[in-house]
Amino acid sequence: MQAVRTSFKKSSLILGIIPAIFFQLVMGVGPSLATFVLSFTDITGVKGVPWKFIGLANYKELFFQQNHRDLIQVIKNTIIFCVAVTVIQNLIALFIAIALNNKMIRGRDFYRAVVFMPTVLGVLVTSLVWLCVLNPMDGPVAKFIGLFGLTSGFFTSSKTALACCIWTQIWMAMGHSMVINLAGLQSIPNELYEAGAIDGATGSQSFRYITFPLLWPTLNVNIMLAIIGSLQSFQVILLTTGGRNMATQTLAARVMYFAFNINSGSGAGAMRQGYGAAWAMFLFVFILTATLIYYRSVKRRDELI
C-alpha cells in the first residue's frame, strides 16, 4: 500500500506560525523593549504623574550611588538562592523519580500526584502553607524544636529566612522536575538494564553507566529550568517575608521592591518603576550571563566525553 503524502502550501505554513509570532512579540519582545526604554526614565507608574527621560541616572544610582553593601548582599543572596535551589531541587527530584519509576512500588501514581501537587497549588497557597508550618509562635516545627530548648524566627529571622525561602521554592517546583525526570527514565530501554544485570552490574553501576549518561539530556534541561526559574523567582520571597528582610532580597525581589516600592507608603513617590526597570535590565544581564556560563561548561564537558 502506497503511503499518502500530505503537502502544505508555503502560504499555509506562514499563516500557521503568524499567531505564535504575534503572541511572542506582544507578550515577550514588546514588554522587554518597553522595560529597556523605561529604565532611562523617572516614570512612577502613578496615573497622571508626568515623567521624562533622565538618561543613565537610574543606572548610576544602581551601581554607584546606593549603598554598595546592599548591592553586594542582594547579589550574594541571588547566587545562594539560585545554587541551592538548583542543586537541592534536582537531587531530590532525581531521587524521587528513580524511586517512583520502580514498578514494584504500589500506588506509585498516587505518590507521583502527591509530589506534583505543590506545583498545581501555586505560589500563594505554598507560601501560606509554609508560613503556617514555620510559624515561630505556635507552628508545628517551632513546637518540635522547642522540645529540645531551641527557638527560631524562621521567615522573620535574618539568619534563617533565606533558607526557609529556598526550601519553600524547592517544595513548590520539585514536582515539575520530577515529572521531567520520570519521562527521561521511562525512555531508557529495559534491555540495557537486563544486559547490565547479565554482566553482573550492581545497582550503583547501572545508575553510573546506564541511567545517568542516558538521563543527562533530561537533567540538563531540568538544571537550566531551575537556574532561570530561581533567578526570576520573587513571589515566594515577597509572600513569606514581605520584602522587608534584607537577608532575603534577591535581584528579582529587588525589581518588585522598587517598581512598587513595597512598604513605603502610597502616592506619587511610592513607586519608582523607572528605577525598577533598571534593576530588571541588570537581572536580565545576570540571567543571561549565568545561562551562558552553564551552557559553555556543559558544552565543554560534552566535548571532553
Q: Is the pLDDT of residue 59 over 50?
A: yes
Residue 66 domain flag:
yes
Range scoring the smallest mean pLDDT among 15-24, 80-89, 113-122: 15-24
Q: What is the pLDDT of residue 1?
A: 47
Map residue 119 onto helix, strand or coil: helix
Residue 245 domain flag:
yes
Residue 143 domain flag:
yes
Task: Find the CATH number of the domain harbouring 190.
Answer: 1.10.3720.10
Domain count, the chain: 1
**Model confidence at 60, in pLDDT bands (50, 70, 90)?**
very high
Q: What is the pLDDT of residue 5?
A: 54
Strand partners, 53: 41
Residue whose C-alpha is closest to residue 281's, from 252, 249, 261: 252
At 275, list the grid cell: 528605577
Q: What is the pLDDT of residue 267?
A: 46
Neighbours of 161 (CB within 10 A): 23
pTM of the predicted structure, to 2 decimals? 0.86
Span 140-155, mean pLDDT? 89
Q: Domain range spanning residue 96? A: 49-304
pLDDT in tens, 219-260: 999 999 999 999 998 999 989 988 777 889 999 998 888 888
* Interior/surface letters 262-278, b for 16+ CB within 10 angstroms, e for the rest: eeeeeeeeebbbbbbbb
Residue 154 domain flag:
yes
For cell 528605577, name the residue.
Answer: 275
Residue 167 domain flag:
yes
Residue 183 domain flag:
yes
Which residues, 6+ apart, have CB-to-CB distance to 250 below 8 Å? 74, 77, 78, 81, 231, 233, 234, 237
**For a pLDDT cut of 70, what percent of the chain falls above it?**
93
Residue 80 domain flag:
yes
Q: What is the pLDDT of residue 304?
A: 66
Q: What is the pLDDT of residue 49?
A: 82
